[in-house]
Amino acid sequence: MAPAMTPAPGHGRYAYSPIPARPVYDWPQGKRLAFYIAINLEWFAFGEGLGAELAPGGPQPDVLNYAWRDYGNRVGVFRLAELMTELQWPVALLVNARMVSEAPQAIKAFAGAEIVGHGRSNSERQGTLSEAEERALISETGAALENFAGTRPRGWLGPWISQSPLTPDLLQEAGYGYMLDWCHDDQPVWMKTRAGRILSVPYPQELNDIPQIVARKREGGEFADMILDAFEVMAAECEKRPLVMGVALHPYVVGWPHRFKHLARALKSVARQAGDKVWFTTPGAIAAHAAALPAGMVP
């Protein structure tokens, strides 16, 4: 008899669920493709901590890369705000709490946007913190954003997509209804926590300018074509099942003119092709709709 296979560690948050075997449902007005734009509004410490790099950085203070990122909050973000106004799409802002004190005009440029919690700053990861420290980070972020916007955020994306083993539990216990960190599906999925459950809403790590442009060294034209290719596939596939397509943007990456040109081309093309299949929305609205469906519809 062959020896028993040693089980691999698992997360225990959700069970395997093949997408063709799931119940079929609609988004509002019978639409089948939920499309959202997530704009990351991030603040970085000067002379220390984490930060994306345009080029290999030197000793701190790394002025080259710090100033490159700062361009996004000073210039690039307002190009994106004007484009969203032109398209008349709702938008989700993934906001570091430090943006409230350091660059509030960047948040205010998007009237009526959904605000999603995104940590204190993008100079730190929450996954390396103790339970008490991580709970404090979540609490401080929520309080700062509520004080600024008047309502507490319902969704969360960790800085650098960083989670500890307890992050879903701590978010659920802090009152968050959904999170964006897990890029494991094209539909919302319920995740177990120690005191209940929290919804995982699809957030893109492929249609995301940081992994593609910064990490994989693709440029604006190719990134724009990726958006259009994904939209073509998902607009056809949503005849079979409801899907979520998100596009994740950072003003210090796609807010530069030579990349913004291609982003605008792609998004305007999506708007022209959308027809009556596409629900232009936010992750919070997706989460609310999914949570209201009859039990068993969402895995």
CB within 8 Å of 4: residues ≥ 6 apart: none
CATH at 269: 3.20.20.370
**pLDDT band of 3, cuts 50, 70, 90:** confident
Assigned domain for 286 exists: yes
How do beta strands 33-41 and 243-249 pair? parallel
pLDDT for residue 97 is more than 80: yes
Note down the domain range covering 146: 32-45+59-292
> What pTM did the predictor assign?
0.96
The pLDDT tens digits for 209-258 are 999 999 999 999 999 999 999 999 999 999 999 999 999 999 999 999 99
Question: Position 205: which residue type?
Answer: Q
**pLDDT band of 263, cuts 50, 70, 90:** very high
Tracing tokens 């007005």 back to the chain, one arrives at 29
The pLDDT tens digits for 172-211 are 999 999 999 999 999 999 999 999 999 999 999 999 999 9
pLDDT of residue 58: 85
Assigned domain for 26 exists: no
H or E segment to which residue 155 belongs: strand 155-156
Assigned domain for 27 exists: no
Assigned domain for 221 exists: yes
Assigned domain for 24 exists: no
Q: Which residues pair with 12 in a beta bridge?
A: none
CB within 8 Å of 50: residues ≥ 6 apart: 44, 122, 123, 124, 125, 159, 160
The pLDDT tens digits for 120-168 are 999 999 999 999 999 999 999 999 999 999 999 999 999 999 999 999 9
- Number of domains the chain is built from: 1
